[in-house]
Chain A
Amino acid sequence: AQKVTQAQTEISVVEKEDVTLDCVYETRDTTYYLFWYKQPPSGELVFLIRRNSFDEQNEISGRYSWNFQKSTSSFNFTITASQVVDSAVYFCALSADSGGGADGLTFGKGTHLIIQP
């Protein structure tokens, strides 16, 4: 069985603060992929990043950075110098090949990020 836990239901920070969204996953597979998606109030899910289980390099894209640590089964997401436009629900998701059954994404429950001006 696979599971993704986003323990932070809601985070509220003031604009320009840094904020980290936590994601912890569980899977028995050795090959798996982790994703982050952003869901703004309009409702669509916007893909942010994909990371495979063999690549533990951290990644930075502008104000966004991701820290993947297999030792703690975590894939945390940090926004530096947050902006009001970053306000959204952020989902962490897992895709693993268990050899059978549906291969859809297993999502965490999401973290609602509120950036106050």
Chain B
Amino acid sequence: EADIYQTPRYLVIGTGKKITLECSQTMGHDKMYWYQQDPGMELHLIHYSYGVNSTEKGDLSSESTVSRIRTEHFPLTLESARPSHTSQYLCASRWGLAGITDTQYFGPGTRLTVL
């Protein structure tokens, strides 16, 4: 069982607002990830981090940005939210030293709706 938390769980916000989605894990995992899940269910990697001060863009282009100042914390920010950003955002983490072998554990997700 993994301890990874996301807040808020649900967010409804107006166009143009700046928002930050929080993700924290208490397992000391090196690697953290953000996935965006379309209403049609498909998940796409939008950001990842290999450790503190490391951030990279994923396979799907996203207008969001991320930061990794502490190992346990990997927030995602949208400077100006738009309706096209409406989606579910899932955060995940895993150990880094084992290469691809370790399981990614997911947080509960944030359902974002931009009006």
Contact A43 B108 (CB under 8 A): yes
- Cβ contact within 8 Å between A47 and B45: no
A31-B100, A44-B106, A50-B103 known; A103+B48 contact, CB < 8 A? yes
Given the complex of chains A and B, what is the CA–CA distance between A89 and B38 in angstroms? 13
With a cutoff of 8 Å between Cβ atoms, the chain B residues found around residue A105 in the complex are: 43, 45, 92, 104
In the assembled complex, the Cα of A46 lies from the Cα of B59 at a distance in Å of 22
From residue 20 to 62 of chain B, which have CB atoms closer than 8 A to chain A? 31, 33, 35, 40-45, 48, 56, 58-59
Interface size on A, residues (CB 8 A): 26
B100 touches A107 (CB 8 A): no
Most buried by B among A32, A50, A95, A102: A102
* Residues from 33 to 53 in A contacting B, C-beta threshold 8 Å: 33, 35, 37, 42-47, 50, 52
Q: Which of A33, A89, A110, A112 contacts B100 (CB 8 A)?
A: A33
User: What are 17 contact pairs spanning A and B, CB under 8 A?
Assistant: A33-B101, A43-B108, A43-B111, A44-B107, A45-B92, A46-B106, A47-B103, A47-B104, A91-B43, A102-B48, A102-B56, A102-B58, A103-B100, A104-B92, A109-B40, A109-B41, A112-B41
